[in-house]
């Protein structure tokens, strides 16, 4: 009985992390579709991200209420709760970004497509590594470090690409200020995904120290 | 008359249940890993079992220290122990029933002119020191093992929680059994030779008079657990000693092992057969053993945060408690004999 509940909770947690990781992959695909001008596939990925985000919310709420109603891991449930919430912020950021692409359809000069995709790759990599870090935090806290430093690495790379991209845009004379501002908004959006992944990593650093004591 | 005189022992049992059950289930209940009801039922059941079936060893040792031969005498010795515990607790000093009852018995020995067996006394007093020390070593080793195990097996955080709960209950049951076995001598030991109980056979199983007496003592401990220990457990879990559930598991296991080593006659037999050194069967303080185990974990952490003055306070208790109990016992025996005209020893 005791282990049945635990197993169910473990499964939910694993699924939550799968969903988060999958959202990242779908995000990268959607961005590529957007620049390839493949509207149908972009819409498919948009819908997928929406569904994944909803599923992540359901799972998160399920885990949270089970942790509290059954008083499981009373010592570290607060930490797990915060971890779920901050991870959910990453998924939300992805959903918001891709939705804005769909609504506002920013016009990106062809020469910048590669940079945008590059930026997205770094953000998705950061997201992916943080998911791996959480998986290890749950089973083998000693290995978390191996993934956290990668999260920080990709977040910095994303910042660098974002900065270079913004410089490039604001030095392009053929673009209106309104277009420049619009593009900057999307760069910030994509870069935020990496920043939010970094927030999760920051928390994980502390929780890992706590668990090793 | 017997039951009236037994009340001082039953009161000792009640206070043991109220205070010492928290040594076993304190952190588990305090951190809400185990419900108080579950803890109380398991603790009571196993304390009674330990007391009834394994309490003889330590009681024999106390019997060797001083075989109290009059009911009124036994009443006074147990009462002296109870009163000195009350005085020590009121003064905020660490106290143990084991030390109080020894003082009470020596008081009786002096009053009745019976010589105190020095070798038994040495055996008992040295156990007060070696018991907690052994707990330090056990806790250190078990803790190191426990730290390595989840990492090695890569146990999921949620599953580790489930295992810890199960462990706290299992180890708690073992701890309660050992506590009953080891400490029933403090509660009922002085009444063994004056007990009116005779062996009875129920469904082919013979229950000796001593076992019946110990069962009664076990019941009084259980009453203490149910009526008063919850408050103490919440204090242990939340205020005084902030242990993680995993650390608590190690502490209780180490403590239970020590209590078991100092009370099991069958283990003693096994050690003798295998030519291994044996430990004396002596009632020791569960609180001090638990403190020893916590220090063991502190050492495993590199020795930081250990409050060494606690050790000094414990050592002062080793001296002070028996002396107070001895004096109270002596004076009260005088009153019992001369004011209430009750024989307190066989001339």
Above 60 in pLDDT, residue A46? Answer: yes
Section B148-173 average pLDDT: 86
The Cα A96–Cα A89 span in angstroms is 10
Above 90 in pLDDT, residue A114? Answer: yes
Q: Is A65 on the interface with B (CB under 8 A)?
A: no
Section B286-314 average pLDDT: 79
Q: Is A117 on the interface with B (CB under 8 A)?
A: no
pLDDT in tens, A164-174: 999 999 999 89
Band of the pLDDT at A148, cuts 50, 70, 90? very high
Band of the pLDDT at A213, cuts 50, 70, 90? low
pLDDT in tens, B28-53: 888 788 899 999 999 999 999 999 99
Question: What's the confidence (pLDDT) of residue A28?
Answer: 97
Above 60 in pLDDT, residue B241? Answer: no
Q: Which residues of B touch A138 (CB under 8 A)?
A: 156-158
Above 60 in pLDDT, residue A88? Answer: yes
* HSE of A84, CA atoms in CB hemisphere, 13 A: 22
Section B144-171 average pLDDT: 85
Question: What's the confidence (pLDDT) of residue B60?
Answer: 87
Which residue among A2, A139, A213 sits closest to B154, beta carbon to beta carbon? A139
Contact B157 A3 (CB under 8 A): no
The answer to whether A121 touches A158, Cβ cutoff 8 Å, is no
Q: Is B161 on the interface with A (CB under 8 A)?
A: yes
Question: What's the confidence (pLDDT) of residue B259?
Answer: 94
**Superfamily name with CATH number, domain A2-212:** Phosphate transport system protein phou homolog 2; domain 2 (1.20.58.220)
Q: Is B154 on the interface with A (CB under 8 A)?
A: yes
Residue B8 tokens, joined: 């001082």
Above 60 in pLDDT, residue B295? Answer: yes
Q: Nearest C-alpha of chain B: how many angstroms from A200?
A: 18
Higher pLDDT, A43 or B61: A43
- What is the DSSP annotation of A126-153? HHHHHHHHHHHHHH-GGGHHHHHHHHHH
Contact A139 B165 (CB under 8 A): no
Residue B16 tokens, joined: 């043991």
Query: Any idea where the domains of chain A sit in the sequence?
Result: 2-212
Question: What's the confidence (pLDDT) of residue B104?
Answer: 93
Question: What's the confidence (pLDDT) of residue A4?
Answer: 83
Contact B158 A13 (CB under 8 A): yes
Question: What's the confidence (pLDDT) of residue B40?
Answer: 95
The C-alpha angle with vertex B205 and arms to B202 and B206, in degrees rounded to 5, equals 90
Residue B132 tokens, joined: 């907690």
* HSE of B60, CA atoms in CB hemisphere, 13 A: 10
Cα-based torsion angle of the residue sequence A28, A32, A34, A38 in order, rounded to the nearest 10 degrees: -120
Section B284-310 average pLDDT: 81
Q: In the predicted model, what is the mean pLDDT of chain B?
A: 87
CB pairs under 8 A between A and B: 46
Query: Which of A5, A138, A141 is the best residue to mutate to test the B interface, defined by the most B CB atoms within 10 Å of its own CB?
Result: A138
Question: What's the confidence (pLDDT) of residue A2?
Answer: 62
Q: Nearest C-alpha of chain A: how many angstroms from B34?
A: 10
The Cα B72–Cα B77 span in angstroms is 9
Contact A139 B32 (CB under 8 A): no
Higher pLDDT, B57 or B236: B57
Section B85-89 average pLDDT: 82
Question: What's the confidence (pLDDT) of residue B298?
Answer: 84
Cα-based torsion angle of the residue sequence A58, A59, A63, A65 in order, rounded to the nearest 10 degrees: 10
Q: Nearest C-alpha of chain B: how many angstroms from A72?
A: 7
Question: What's the confidence (pLDDT) of residue B136?
Answer: 94
Section A50-67 average pLDDT: 94
| pLDDT over 70 percentage in chain B | 96
Number of Cβ atoms within 10 Å of the Cβ of B278: 12
Band of the pLDDT at B238, cuts 50, 70, 90? low
ipTM of the shown complex: 0.80
Q: In the predicted model, what is the mean pLDDT of chain A?
A: 93
């Amino acid at each position: 009985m005791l282990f049945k509940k635990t197993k169910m909770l473990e499964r939910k947690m694993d699924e939550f992390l799968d969903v988060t990781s999958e959202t990242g992959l779908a995000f990268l695909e959607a961005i590529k579709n957007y620049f390839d001008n493949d509207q149908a596939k972009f819409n498919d990925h948009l819908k997928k991200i929406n569904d994944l985000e909803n599923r992540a919310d359901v799972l998160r709420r399920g885990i949270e209420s089970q942790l509290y109603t059954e008083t499981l891991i009373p010592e570290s449930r607060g930490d797990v709760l915060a971890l779920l919430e901050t991870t959910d912020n990453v998924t939300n950021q992805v959903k918001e970004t891709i939705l804005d692409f769909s609504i506002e359809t920013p016009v990106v000069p062809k020469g910048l497509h590669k940079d945008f995709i590059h930026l997205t790759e770094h953000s998705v990599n950061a997201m992916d590594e943080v998911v791996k870090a959480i998986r290890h935090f749950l089973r083998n806290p000693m290995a978390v470090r191996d993934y956290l430093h990668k999260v920080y690495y990709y977040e910095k790379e994303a910042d660098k690409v974002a900065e270079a991209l913004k410089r490039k845009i604001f030095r392009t004379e053929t673009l209106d200020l309104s277009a420049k501002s619009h593009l900057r908004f999307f760069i910030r959006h994509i870069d935020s995904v990496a920043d939010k992944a970094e927030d999760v990593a920051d928390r994980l650093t502390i929780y890992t120290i706590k668990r090793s004591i | 008359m017997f039951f009236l005189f037994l009340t001082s022992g039953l009161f000792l049992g009640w206070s043991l249940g109220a205070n010492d059950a928290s040594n076993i289930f304190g952190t588990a209940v305090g951190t809400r890993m185990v419900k108080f009801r579950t803890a109380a039922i398991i603790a009571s059941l196993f304390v009674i079992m330990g007391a009834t079936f394994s309490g003889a060893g330590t009681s024999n040792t106390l019997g060797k220290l001083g075989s109290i031969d009059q009911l009124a005498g036994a009443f006074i010795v147990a009462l002296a122990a109870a009163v000195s515990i009350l005085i020590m607790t009121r003064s905020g000093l660490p106290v143990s029933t084991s030390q109080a009852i020894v003082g009470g018995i020596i008081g009786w020995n002096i009053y009745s002119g019976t010589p105190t067996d020095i070798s038994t006394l040495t055996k008992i007093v040295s156990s007060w020191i070696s018991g907690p020390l052994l707990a330090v070593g056990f806790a250190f080793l078990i803790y190191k093992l426990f730290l390595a195990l989840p990492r090695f097996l890569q146990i999921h955080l949620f599953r580790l929680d489930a295992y810890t709960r199960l462990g706290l209950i299992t180890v708690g049951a073992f701890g309660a059994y050992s506590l009953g076995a080891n400490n029933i001598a403090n509660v009922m030991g002085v009444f063994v030779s004056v007990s009116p109980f005779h062996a009875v056979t129920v469904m082919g199983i013979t229950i000796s008079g001593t076992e019946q007496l110990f069962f009664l003592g076990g019941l009084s401990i259980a009453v203490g657990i149910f009526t008063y220990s919850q408050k103490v457990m919440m204090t242990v879990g939340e205020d005084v000693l902030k242990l993680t559930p995993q650390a608590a598991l190690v502490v209780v296991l180490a403590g239970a092992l020590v209590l078991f080593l100092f009370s099991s006659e069958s283990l003693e037999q096994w050690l003798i057969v295998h030519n291994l050194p044996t430990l004396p069967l002596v009632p020791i303080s569960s609180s001090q053993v638990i403190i020893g185990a916590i220090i063991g974990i502190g050492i495993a952490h590199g020795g930081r945060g250990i409050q060494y003055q606690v050790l000094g306070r414990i050592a002062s208790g080793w001296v002070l408690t028996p002396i107070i109990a001895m004096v109270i016992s002596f004076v009260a025996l005088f009153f019992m004999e001369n004011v209430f005209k009750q024989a307190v020893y066989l001339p």
